[in-house]
Protein backbone atom coordinates (compact mmCIF):
# COMPACT_ATOMS: atom_id res chain seq x y z
CA UNK A 1 0.00 0.00 0.00
CA UNK A 2 1.16 3.50 -0.79
CA UNK A 3 0.30 6.77 0.86
CA UNK A 4 -1.02 9.97 -0.69
CA UNK A 5 -0.78 13.33 1.09
CA UNK A 6 -4.35 14.61 1.52
CA UNK A 7 -4.02 17.41 4.06
CA UNK A 8 -2.33 19.27 6.89
CA UNK A 9 -3.55 19.75 10.46
CA UNK A 10 -4.19 23.46 11.13
CA UNK A 11 -5.51 23.14 14.70
CA UNK A 12 -6.27 20.53 17.35
CA UNK A 13 -9.21 20.72 19.75
CA UNK A 14 -8.14 18.54 22.67
CA UNK A 15 -11.38 18.60 24.65
CA UNK A 16 -13.36 17.09 21.77
CA UNK A 17 -10.44 15.22 20.11
CA UNK A 18 -10.92 16.83 16.71
CA UNK A 19 -8.25 18.00 14.28
CA UNK A 20 -8.96 20.82 11.83
CA UNK A 21 -7.47 19.71 8.51
CA UNK A 22 -7.00 21.74 5.31
CA UNK A 23 -7.34 19.22 2.48
CA UNK A 24 -5.16 18.95 -0.59
CA UNK A 25 -6.81 15.68 -1.67
CA UNK A 26 -10.15 13.89 -1.42
CA UNK A 27 -11.06 12.15 1.85
CA UNK A 28 -14.03 9.90 2.67
CA UNK A 29 -15.45 8.35 5.82
CA UNK A 30 -14.05 4.81 5.91
CA UNK A 31 -10.64 5.74 4.45
CA UNK A 32 -7.54 4.62 6.35
CA UNK A 33 -5.24 7.52 7.16
CA UNK A 34 -1.77 8.04 8.64
CA UNK A 35 -1.14 11.23 10.62
CA UNK A 36 2.55 12.04 10.78
CA UNK A 37 4.53 14.88 12.29
CA UNK A 38 7.63 15.65 14.34
CA UNK A 39 6.18 13.88 17.42
CA UNK A 40 2.99 12.41 15.92
CA UNK A 41 2.71 9.03 14.18
CA UNK A 42 -0.52 7.04 14.18
CA UNK A 43 -2.98 5.36 11.83
CA UNK A 44 -6.75 5.20 12.02
CA UNK A 45 -9.90 4.80 9.95
CA UNK A 46 -11.86 8.00 9.26
CA UNK A 47 -14.98 7.54 11.36
CA UNK A 48 -16.39 11.07 11.42
CA UNK A 49 -15.74 14.40 9.76
CA UNK A 50 -17.59 17.70 9.53
CA UNK A 51 -17.59 20.88 7.46
CA UNK A 52 -19.03 23.96 9.20
CA UNK A 53 -20.32 21.73 12.05
CA UNK A 54 -22.31 19.53 9.63
CA UNK A 55 -21.45 15.83 9.17
CA UNK A 56 -20.16 14.89 5.72
CA UNK A 57 -19.14 11.57 4.16
CA UNK A 58 -16.72 13.07 1.62
CA UNK A 59 -14.57 16.20 1.46
CA UNK A 60 -12.62 17.64 -1.46
CA UNK A 61 -9.31 19.48 -1.98
CA UNK A 62 -9.40 23.05 -0.68
CA UNK A 63 -11.97 22.33 2.03
CA UNK A 64 -11.29 22.61 5.76
CA UNK A 65 -12.72 19.76 7.80
CA UNK A 66 -13.08 18.77 11.42
CA UNK A 67 -11.72 15.22 11.72
CA UNK A 68 -12.37 13.04 14.78
CA UNK A 69 -8.98 11.61 15.82
CA UNK A 70 -8.03 8.76 18.14
CA UNK A 71 -4.78 10.40 19.34
CA UNK A 72 -3.44 13.91 19.78
CA UNK A 73 -2.63 15.69 16.52
CA UNK A 74 -0.50 18.79 16.25
CA UNK A 75 -0.52 21.85 14.02
CA UNK A 76 1.53 21.13 10.90
CA UNK A 77 1.08 17.33 11.05
CA UNK A 78 0.57 15.80 7.62
CA UNK A 79 -2.42 13.56 6.84
CA UNK A 80 -1.88 10.71 4.37
CA UNK A 81 -4.50 8.41 2.88
CA UNK A 82 -3.57 4.79 2.19
CA UNK A 83 -4.02 3.95 -1.48
CA UNK A 84 -3.78 0.46 -3.03
CA UNK A 85 -0.84 0.01 -5.36
Q: What is the pLDDT of residues 7-52, one digit of tens each?
A: 999 999 999 999 999 999 999 999 999 999 999 999 999 999 999 9
Task: Kindly write down the DSSP assignment for every residue of the chain, as one continuous string.
Answer: -EEEEEEEEEEEETTTTEEEEEESS-EETT-EEEEE-SS-EEEEE---EEETTEEESEE-TT-EEEEE-SS---TT-EEEEEE--
Q: First vs last Cα of the chain: how many Å apart?
A: 5
Give me the pLDDT at residue 84, please. 77
Q: What does the domain layout of the chain look like in residue ranges?
A: 1-30
pLDDT at 71: 97
| The pLDDT value given to residue 83 | 86
Short-list 61, 27, 26, 30, CA closest to 44? 30
Write down the pTM of the prediction: 0.95
Amino acid sequence: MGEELVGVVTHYFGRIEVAAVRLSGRLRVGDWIHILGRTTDFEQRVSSMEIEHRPVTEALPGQEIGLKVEERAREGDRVYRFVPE
